[in-house]
Structure 1
Amino acid sequence: MREHIASTLQRARQRTIALTDSVDEAELVAQHSRLMSPLVWDLAHIGNQEELWLVRDAGGRDPVRADIDYLYDAFEHARPDRPHLPLLNPGEAREYVDTVREKVWDVLEHSPLQGDELVDGGFVFGMIAQHEQQHDETMLATHQLRAGPPVLSAAAPPVADSAVRGEVLIPAGEFTMGTSTDPWALDNERPAHPVHVPAFAIDAAPVSNGQYLEFIADGGYDRRELWSERGWEHRHEGELTAPGFWERDSAGQWWRRVFGVRRPVRPQQPVVHVCWFEAQAYATWAGKRLPTEAEWEKAARYDPDTGRTRTYPWGDTEPGPATANLGQRHLEPADIGAYPAGASAAGVHQLIGDVWEWTSSGFHPYPGFRAFPYREYSEVFFGGDYRVLRGGSFGTDPVACRGTFRNWDHPIRRQIFSGFRLARTLDPREA
C-alpha cells in the first residue's frame, strides 16, 4: 500500500514539474486567460493543499507556511483576481512544494493507514494525489490557451483498425450506481445505491469531428430552433461558430490549434472543446438527446450477462495503454474505435478517456450522501448551474478517473477537454 501511494504521488509530481518547467518564469506568472489561474498559483496551491491535509491533518506536524493559506484558498479568490495577489514567485513556489513533499514522505512512512477514517486505505493520500492530477489537467488546459510556440510534446494517439458506428440498446432494469467500497472514491461518488433505468439506446462512440462538421455545414450555429433560449443567448454572446480552437481558412479547410500546433481537423477523432449548449443543440439537430448521468454509468459499468457492476467498462483491471487514452500519454483524442479492448460489456466504446462527456444531468448528491472530509469538495456545488461530465479525457490521470468518477462544470465552459455522445429514448416497440 505505501509503495502504491508513493508511486501515485510521485507520478503526479513528475507531471506537475513537466507542466511548469516547460515555460519560463514570465509565462508561469502570466494569466493566459481570465478563465484560468497563473500556472504559478496552481503550483503553490497544490503544495498548500498537500500541506493542509497530509502534513498538518494526517501527520499532525507543524505548519510549513501558515501565512500563505489565504492566498491559495480557491474559495477566497476568483481566478481573474489571482494574478494580483502577493503570490510566491516561481522559485519560492518550487521550494515550498519540495519542502512540503519531503515532510509528506515522513508522514507516509509513519502513518498506520488504518484506524481513522481519514487515513483508512490511504484515502487522504489518494485524495491529494487526485487533487494534484486534477490541477495538472487544469494546467494542461492553460497550456492549450496560452499563445506562443509549442512547448509540450507527446506521441501521436493510435488510429483505429475498424470503424465504430451505430448505437447500443441498454435494457431496462436496476443497476448499482456509485460505490461504497473503492477506498479512494470521493464523497460525491458515494454511497452505492440501486437505480432503475428505463431501456434506452446510446451511441457506440462519442460524436466525431466529421459528424460535427455536418452539423456546422447544415447551419447548426445559425438555426435558432436547435438551441435552448439560454444556449442561443450564449451562442451569440460568445460568438460561437465552431468548437473551441477551430478556424476555417479561405479555401474552406477546417483547422484546429493543439497546444500551439495548427493541424487539420481529423474527421475520425471525437469532437473536443464544445460546451454543453453546443452539445445540446447538436443532439436536437440529430433527433436525439444527451444521456442522463445514470444512463451513462449503466452503459459504462453494467454487465447484462452477469448482472454485476464493473469498476471500468472493460472490467476491474486498472486502465492501460490498450484500454483508454488517459494520463497525457497523448495530447489529443485518439480516433474513434482505437480502443476495442476498452469497450463496455454492452459494446460501448471509449467511455473512459479521450474526452469528458457532457450528460443532461445537473450535479446533485446521491441518496445517503455525506460530505467528507470537507464540504467544499462537493456539497457547496450541488444544485447550482452545473452539468455533470463523465469518463475523463486524454488529460485525466487514471487515479482521477473511474466508472463512478463525477466531474461538473458550467454549461458555457469549453476550455476543458469536453465532448459528448448521444442517447435516445426507445419507442415502446423497441424496448
Structure 2
Amino acid sequence: MVTGLGFSSGGVQGGTLDTQLKPNPCSECVMDDTMKKISILTGKETFQSLKPLDLSVCDKQQILAYFNNSYDLYESLFTSLKDEKVFYLCPDRLRLPLVFYFAHTAVVYVNKLVLAGLLKTRVNLEFETMFETGVDEMSWDDTENYRMGGSYKWPTIESVVDYRRQVRNIITNIIEKTPLELPINMESPWWALVMGMEHERIHLETSAVLIRQLPVDMVTKPSAWMYAPVKHDKGVNGNTNMHYINATDVTMGKPEDFPSYGWDNEYGQVTCHVPAFEASKFMITNGEYLEFVKDGGYNRKGLWSQKGWQWKEFRQLVHPVFWVCTKGCNNGCGSNLSTISHCEAVDNNNGYVIDDELGSPSFRYRVMFDNIELPLDWPVEVTYHEAKAFCAWKGSGYRLPAEAEQHVMRGPQKSPAVGTECDMIHQDTISANLNLQYGSSTPVNLYKPNTVGLYDIMGNVWEWNEDHFNGFENFKSHHFYDDFSTPTFDGKHHLILGGSWISTGNEASRFARYAFRPHFVQFAGFRTVRNLDENKIELPIRIVTTDVFVLGEGVTGNSIGLDETKTGFKKVDSTNYQYTIDTDAALYGILQLEFGIREGYPEMLSEYCLIMGNKYNSGKGNCAVFGSGAGKIVFILKKYYDTVLGVDAFARYIQAATTLQETRRLSITSPTGDEKEFLLDQELQTDNVCFKQLTWIANEIVAHDLILMTNLHRLQNPKAWLLRLWEIVKMTGIVVIFSMDNQWKENDLLPILSPNLSCIESEVLEYQTLSGIQRSTVTVWKHHWCHHHHTISR
C-alpha cells in the first residue's frame, strides 16, 4: 500500500538525505551472470498462515508466533525467484525492483517501533531511508525508481538478508523483554508491532502480484505450493440468472474497541439505505470474460470510459494481464524487462490450440509460477477499467456493486460485540478461498453459497466496487502511520473488498477496506449488479468530489465510472482534511499573509529564529521549515543558513513556492476575480533552497541545525509529525514551534516531545497582518542532554 508522497524541486537537496545516499559498492555486481542463488531465509520456509491475534487475550508466545509466521511467509515467497539477479528487475514499470519490497517490510517494522518508543536505536538509517517509501503510481507513464533516478545501484541481497536477520532478532528481543499490558489498543506501543506484521502481510500479496508478472522462466514453484483444481463438480453454468437481493439498511465500520488490529480507514461509521437490486451469483469467470474478448471488447471504444480507453491504448492491451496468447503483447514490465513479452509466438507442440474461427490462438493462463490452460471456471482478474467495459458490454443497467451492497450481499453478520468470533479469518475453519488455503484462485463454485445464495463474497479474488476510497464519518488517522490511507482519499482510487486467496491477517477480515487506482494490476475481479428500477435511483455509492490539486498537474478529474444522468450517488468530501483545505482561496490567503505586509509574519518569525539560534548556538548550517507555505520565510532564512528545506503537505503551496523560486513572481486570481501579482524581493536568495511536498516527516529528512514548524493547525494528524522532530534536529540544534492558532502551547506539546526534547523558551509573539495585530504562541525545544549541558555552562 501507500506511504508518503515525496517531491522536490529547485536548488540542491540541502538538508535531505537524497545527496547523501551512498550505494553499496558491491551493488555493481548484481547483474553478474555468474552469481549463484543464496539462502534468503532468516527463519523457515512456510506457506501456512496463522490466524490473526486477538488483542484482548493474546500472550507473548502467540505474538511471537504470529510475528515469525508473518516474517517467514514473506521470505518464503521470495524463494521462488531463481537467482539474485531477479531481485533487481521490475516486473511492473510502475513499481520499484523486487529488492525494494524484500527489504521494505523489515524497514517499516523499525520505523514504526522507533515512533512507538519500543526501539531506541536505529538498525541502519541508510536502509531505513532507502527502503522506506513505496510507490502508488499517480500516472500511467511513471517509470520505476522515480525517486532514485532510474539508474540507482541497490545494495546486495546478502546485505538485505543480513538486515532482515538483525531486525528479526531485535523484534524477538522486544517481544520477550517488553512488559505486555492487555488489551493492545491504538494507544499501546505494541500497536506499532502488530502494525508491522499486518503491513508485511499486505506486501505478501502485493509482492506476489509482482512476482506473477515476471517471465515464467525467472521463477520456480516452491515444493509446498499447491494450486487449486481447475474445475469443480460439473462446472459453472455462468451467470445467466441474476440473484434478487432485498432492500435493507446497513451500517459499516469497525468499532474502535474491537479486539483485532485495524487500519485507520476501517473505523468510524456510515449507515445507509440499500434499495433492492440484482447481483450475479458468481464472480465473473474467465469463461464469461472470454466471450467479451471474442466479441471484440478490447477494440470497441464505445464500451470504455474515456480514461479507460486511454489507458488500454497506452498499454496496448488485448486481454487481461494474466492471460497468455501468442501475439507478443506488451507486458508492462519495466527496465530491462520492458522488451520481453509473456505472449510469445509458439506452435501447437507447446500446448497452444489455434482457433480457426478467430484466426488467433486460444488463451493460456499465468498462475504464480507456471502457464496452464485457461481455467474457465476461475474468476477473471482485471482492472477497474476492464471490469467497467465488461459491464457496458453486458447491457444497459449493469454496473459494479456499491460498498454498501457488498455488505448486504454477505448476509446477516454476527454483532462485533461478540468479539473476534464474528470475523471469519479468526475462526478455526474458513469456508472461503482465503488465508493461503490454495496458491491460486479456485473455481467459483468450489465453496458453498452463503445464506443469501451468492458465492465467493469473501475470498478467491478481490471485488472492485464503484465507491471511491474514503474514510467513514469521524475518520481519524493514526499517529504511527498518518498517511496509510489519506493520500488515496483523492477521488482517484476505487475500493476493493472481500480479499483474495493470498489475503491473510487483517486483509482477510470482514472489516478490511483497500483500494487502488483503476488501472492497477491486482488479484481483483468483479461481479455485476443491476438496479430493479429502470428509472434513475439514488444509490448508496460514495463518490469523492473534492478537487485535489496534484503537483505539476493541477486539479485533474476524479475517476467516476457512473453516468449521473442515469444513476444517483452520494457526493462526499474527502476525509483527508488537508485535501479539503488546500484550495485556491487558501493559497491566496497564505500569499496575502506572507507578502501582504512589508514587515509581517515571515520577517518576524525569521528574526525570532535567528535570535534563538544565536542564543543557543544552534549553528548556521542547515534549516528546515515544516509549513513552508508559499516559501517567503524559507527565502528569508536562506540569508542566515547555508541550505534551507521547505516542506508542506499542500501541493498548491509547494507549486507557488517553486514558481517564486524559478521566476521570482507569481500571478493568481483573487477570490473576487481580480488578478494579483506577488513578487519576491531581489535581496532574497533562491539558490540552495529545496521544496518538498510530504505527507509526513520521512527518513529522507536528515538532522538540521534549526527546525521551524508552523503548520500544526492544518495537519491531519499533528502528533505524527511531532513524534519525529527529535530525530531530525541535531544534538546542538533547536526546534521552534509556532502555533498560529494558539492551540499548541507548551503543556500540549510536552506529552509528545518530552521523552526526547526539553522546552527552553515559551512566549507569545505579535505580528501585523492585513486584518490587524495577531498573537501566536511560540515554543523552543532542545535535546535533553544539550539543554542540561547548556544550562550548566551558563
TM-score by length of 1: 0.88
User: What's 1:38 paired with?
Assistant: 97
Q: How far apart, in 2, do the equivalents of 1:275 and 1:394 lie?
A: 17
**1:142-161 mapped onto 2 (5 Å cutoff):** 142-149=210-217, 150-153=219-222, 154-158=225-229, 159-161=231-233
**Structure 1 residues 156 and 117: alpha-carbon distance in aligned structure 2, compared to 1, 3 A threshold:** closer
Question: Is residue 464–residue 497 contact of structure 2 (8 Å, CA) maintained in 1?
Answer: yes
Match of 2:264 among 184, 187, 196: 187
User: What's 1:407 paired with?
Assistant: 514
Structure 1 or 2, whichever has the larger Rg, is 2
Question: Is residue 88–residue 99 contact of structure 2 (8 Å, CA) maintained in 1?
Answer: yes
Q: How far apart, in 2, do the equivalents of 1:313 and 1:90 lie?
A: 41
Q: How far apart, in 1, do the equivalents of 2:387 and 2:315 lie?
A: 15
Deviations 1:14-68 (A, max 9, x none): 1222122332211122323323322221121111111112355251422111233
Question: Is residue 47–residue 100 contact of structure 1 (8 Å, CA) maintained in 2?
Answer: yes
Output the amino acid matched with 1:298. Answer: V
SS of corresponding position for 2:196: helix
Output the amino acid matched with 1:283. Answer: C
Deviation at 1:212, TM superposition (A): 0.7
**Structure 1 residues 104 and 312: alpha-carbon distance in aligned structure 2, compared to 1, 3 A threshold:** closer
Deviation at 1:97, TM superposition (A): 1.4
User: What's 2:380 paired with?
Assistant: 271
Deviation at 1:237, TM superposition (A): 2.0
Q: How far apart, in 1, do the equivalents of 2:423 and 2:469 lie?
A: 26
User: What's 2:532 paired with?
Assistant: 426
Output the amino acid matched with 1:262. Answer: N
Deviation at 1:352, TM superposition (A): 1.9
1:218 aligns with 2:295: yes
Deviation at 1:99, TM superposition (A): 1.0
- Which is helix-richer, 1 or 2? 1
User: What's 1:257 paired with?
Assistant: 366
**Structure 1 residues 400 and 65: alpha-carbon distance in aligned structure 2, compared to 1, 3 A threshold:** same
Q: How far apart, in 2, do the equivalents of 1:315 and 1:44 lie?
A: 31
Of structures 1 and 2, the one with the larger relative CO (CA 8 A, separation 6+) is 1
**Structure 1 residues 202 and 3: alpha-carbon distance in aligned structure 2, compared to 1, 3 A threshold:** farther
User: What's 1:11 paired with?
Assistant: 69
User: What's 1:174 paired with?
Assistant: 249
Output the amino acid matched with 1:173. Answer: T
Match of 1:290 among 391, 400, 411: 400
SS of corresponding position for 2:364: strand
Question: Is residue 322–residue 339 contact of structure 1 (8 Å, CA) maintained in 2?
Answer: no
Unaligned runs of 5+ in 1: none
**Structure 1 residues 215 and 314: alpha-carbon distance in aligned structure 2, compared to 1, 3 A threshold:** farther
Output the amino acid matched with 2:452. Answer: A
Identity of aligned residues (%): 25
Question: Is residue 56–residue 63 contact of structure 1 (8 Å, CA) maintained in 2?
Answer: no
**Structure 1 residues 116 and 7: alpha-carbon distance in aligned structure 2, compared to 1, 3 A threshold:** closer
Q: How far apart, in 1, do the equivalents of 2:67 and 2:97 lie?
A: 23
**1:59-74 mapped onto 2 (5 Å cutoff):** 59-74=118-133
RMSD, matched Cα: 3.0
Deviation at 1:277, TM superposition (A): 0.9
Deviations 1:359-400 (A, max 9, x none): 111111111100113321011210241111111112222442
Match of 2:410 among 297, 300, 305: 300
User: What's 1:353 paired with?
Assistant: 459
Deviation at 1:210, TM superposition (A): 1.0
**Structure 1 residues 69 and 76: alpha-carbon distance in aligned structure 2, compared to 1, 3 A threshold:** farther
**Structure 1 residues 64 and 291: alpha-carbon distance in aligned structure 2, compared to 1, 3 A threshold:** same
Q: How far apart, in 2, do the equivalents of 1:284 and 1:320 lie?
A: 41
Deviation at 1:3, TM superposition (A): 3.0
Output the amino acid matched with 1:191. Answer: G
Q: How far apart, in 1, do the equivalents of 2:452 and 2:417 lie?
A: 12
User: What's 2:544 paired with?
Assistant: none
Deviations 1:154-204 (A, max 9, x none): 223144336475433332222221211253111101123322222222222
Q: How far apart, in 2, do the equivalents of 1:80 and 1:315 lie?
A: 38
User: What's 2:4 paired with?
Assistant: none
Deviation at 1:146, TM superposition (A): 1.3
Q: How far apart, in 2, do the equivalents of 1:11 and 1:143 lie?
A: 20
Q: How far apart, in 2, do the equivalents of 1:18 and 1:278 lie?
A: 32
1:325 aligns with 2:433: yes
SS of corresponding position for 1:80: coil
Question: Is residue 250–residue 404 contact of structure 2 (8 Å, CA) maintained in 1?
Answer: no
Match of 2:494 among 383, 387, 395: 387
1:129 aligns with 2:197: yes
Q: How far apart, in 2, do the equivalents of 1:310 and 1:223 lie?
A: 51
User: What's 1:338 paired with?
Assistant: 446
1:244 aligns with 2:321: yes
Question: Is residue 424–residue 510 contact of structure 2 (8 Å, CA) maintained in 1?
Answer: no
Question: Is residue 91–residue 213 contact of structure 2 (8 Å, CA) maintained in 1?
Answer: yes
**Structure 1 residues 262 and 137: alpha-carbon distance in aligned structure 2, compared to 1, 3 A threshold:** same
Output the amino acid matched with 2:251. Answer: T
Deviation at 1:323, TM superposition (A): 1.2
Question: Is residue 385–residue 411 contact of structure 1 (8 Å, CA) maintained in 2?
Answer: yes
Query: Quick check: 136-145 or 48-57, which moved more?
Result: 48-57
User: What's 1:141 paired with?
Assistant: 209
Query: Quick check: 211-220 or 70-79, which moved more?
Result: 70-79
Q: How far apart, in 2, do the equivalents of 1:210 and 1:36 lie?
A: 30
Q: How far apart, in 2, do the equivalents of 1:279 and 1:236 lie?
A: 16
SS of corresponding position for 2:399: coil
Q: How far apart, in 1, do the equivalents of 2:532 and 2:421 lie?
A: 23
Question: Is residue 144–residue 258 contact of structure 1 (8 Å, CA) maintained in 2?
Answer: yes
Deviations 1:73-124 (A, max 9, x none): 2169987115644533211111111111211122223142448854649533
Q: How far apart, in 1, do the equivalents of 2:194 and 2:119 lie?
A: 18
Question: Is residue 461–residue 501 contact of structure 2 (8 Å, CA) maintained in 1?
Answer: yes
Q: How far apart, in 2, do the equivalents of 1:238 and 1:118 lie?
A: 42
Question: Is residue 311–residue 404 contact of structure 1 (8 Å, CA) maintained in 2?
Answer: no
Q: How far apart, in 1, do the equivalents of 2:371 and 2:134 lie?
A: 36
SS of corresponding position for 2:426: coil
SS of corresponding position for 2:180: coil
1:103 aligns with 2:167: no
1:376 aligns with 2:483: yes
1:362 aligns with 2:426: no
Question: Is residue 116–residue 192 contact of structure 2 (8 Å, CA) maintained in 1?
Answer: no
**Structure 1 residues 334 and 310: alpha-carbon distance in aligned structure 2, compared to 1, 3 A threshold:** farther
**Structure 1 residues 212 and 76: alpha-carbon distance in aligned structure 2, compared to 1, 3 A threshold:** closer
Question: Is residue 117–residue 189 contact of structure 2 (8 Å, CA) maintained in 1?
Answer: no
**Structure 1 residues 31 and 316: alpha-carbon distance in aligned structure 2, compared to 1, 3 A threshold:** closer
SS of corresponding position for 1:424: strand
TM-score by length of 2: 0.50
Question: Is residue 424–residue 430 contact of structure 2 (8 Å, CA) maintained in 1?
Answer: no
Q: How far apart, in 2, do the equivalents of 1:106 and 1:9 lie?
A: 12
- Which is strand-richer, 1 or 2? 2
Deviation at 1:338, TM superposition (A): 0.8
Question: Is residue 203–residue 423 contact of structure 1 (8 Å, CA) maintained in 2?
Answer: yes
Output the amino acid matched with 2:157. Answer: P
**Structure 1 residues 139 and 357: alpha-carbon distance in aligned structure 2, compared to 1, 3 A threshold:** same
Output the amino acid matched with 2:158. Answer: G
Q: How far apart, in 1, do the equivalents of 2:392 and 2:136 lie?
A: 38
**1:196-207 mapped onto 2 (5 Å cutoff):** 196-207=273-284
Q: How far apart, in 1, do the equivalents of 2:277 and 2:457 lie?
A: 16
Output the amino acid matched with 2:393. Answer: W
Report the count of equivalent residues: 424
User: What's 2:144 paired with?
Assistant: 80
Q: How far apart, in 1, do the equivalents of 2:393 and 2:136 lie?
A: 40
Query: Quick check: 159-168 or 84-93, which moved more?
Result: 159-168
